[in-house]
């Protein structure tokens, strides 16, 4: 199965998760502020940088879908801006254009789960057990009694579940009980279908880098090099791709 074919599963996975979040918005008005974000704060303050790290698994499949979106929806000018974002070495996500996400329909799992998702599945590399990362954005920080630029984590216990079991009500400090998404089943499914970085065939990464070069147009090599750098990849003397020692 090719990386493109594997990514089709991820599209369906994301759709199901998006439906859960839409249900959350209907049940918990508090989170609707995230749906109408005005400043792209979380994308620009190193909370979830676009790179592979513990708790932030930007898989090859996720990169593939972002490159697919760049190829199909970015103008030549958009691609030029993307390269400028990379070369500037700024702290903000490379896909942040002004205060809006340039690849929002194709954004990664880590971007989708913040800040209203909790999981009770023991998978610390995918999601810390029972931890809810409370937002430090200007709009919501004060509602949790925390400061802007402060990322605070609480460990709420479930109080109740909705009929489908996908939403869970929790009691947080400084807040009355509120609904969040329980991503436990999603984390288990992600573990099952998406291999960890060094467990996948190296041909996946070679396929991805080739696709990034194509998707990025004349500056595609810069885009591929950025993915290579953030994923800890290196080009071997024989032209294959390996991991940095």
Cα 28 to the center of its chain, rounded Å: 22
pLDDT digits (tens, 9 = 90+) for 132-159: 878 778 888 888 888 877 778 889 999 9
Query: Which pLDDT score is estimated for 47?
Result: 55
Going by C-beta distance under 8 Å and a sequence separation of 6 or more, which residues neighbour residue 89?
none
Query: Which pLDDT score is estimated for 99?
Result: 83
Q: CA 91 to CA 47: how far, in whole Å? A: 10
Q: Is the pLDDT of residue 61 over 60?
A: yes
Alpha helices for 114-159 (secondary structure H): none
68 in helix, strand or coil?
helix
Contact of 182 with 37, CB cutoff 8 Å: no
Using pLDDT thresholds of 50, 70 and 90, give the confidence band for residue 125: low
Q: Is the pLDDT of residue 78 over 90?
A: yes
pTM, two decimal places: 0.86
Q: Is the pLDDT of residue 225 over 80?
A: yes
Nearest to 108 by CA among 197, 37, 7, 178: 7
Q: Is the pLDDT of residue 10 over 50?
A: yes
Q: CA 51 to CA 53: how far, in whole Å? A: 6
Which is more confident, 168 or 153? 168
């Amino acid at each position: 199965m090719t990386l493109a074919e594997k990514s089709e599963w991820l599209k369906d996975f994301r759709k199901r998760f998006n439906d859960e979040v839409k249900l959350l918005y209907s049940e918990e008005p508090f989170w609707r502020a995230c749906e109408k974000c005005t400043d792209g704060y979380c994308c620009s303050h190193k909370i979830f940088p676009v790179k592979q790290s513990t708790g932030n698994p930007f898989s090859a499949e996720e990169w593939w879908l972002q490159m697919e979106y760049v190829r199909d929806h970015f103008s030549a000018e958009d691609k030029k801006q993307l390269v400028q974002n990379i070369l500037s070495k700024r702290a903000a996500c490379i896909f942040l254009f002004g205060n809006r996400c340039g690849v929002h329909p194709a954004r990664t799992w880590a971007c989708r789960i913040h800040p209203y998702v909790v999981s009770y599945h023991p998978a610390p590399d995918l999601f810390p057990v029972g931890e809810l990362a409370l937002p430090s954005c200007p709009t919501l920080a004060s509602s949790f009694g925390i400061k802007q630029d402060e990322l605070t984590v609480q460990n709420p216990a479930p109080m109740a579940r909705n009929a489908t079991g996908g939403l869970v009500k929790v009691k947080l400090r400084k807040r009355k009980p509120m609904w969040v998404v329980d991503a436990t089943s999603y984390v288990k499914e992600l573990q099952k279908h998406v291999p960890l970085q060094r467990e996948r065939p190296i041909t996946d990464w070679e396929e991805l880098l080739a696709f990034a070069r194509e998707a990025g147009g004349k500056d595609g090599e810069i885009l591929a090099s950025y993915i290579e750098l953030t994923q800890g990849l290196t080009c071997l003397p024989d032209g294959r791709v390996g991991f940095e020692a």
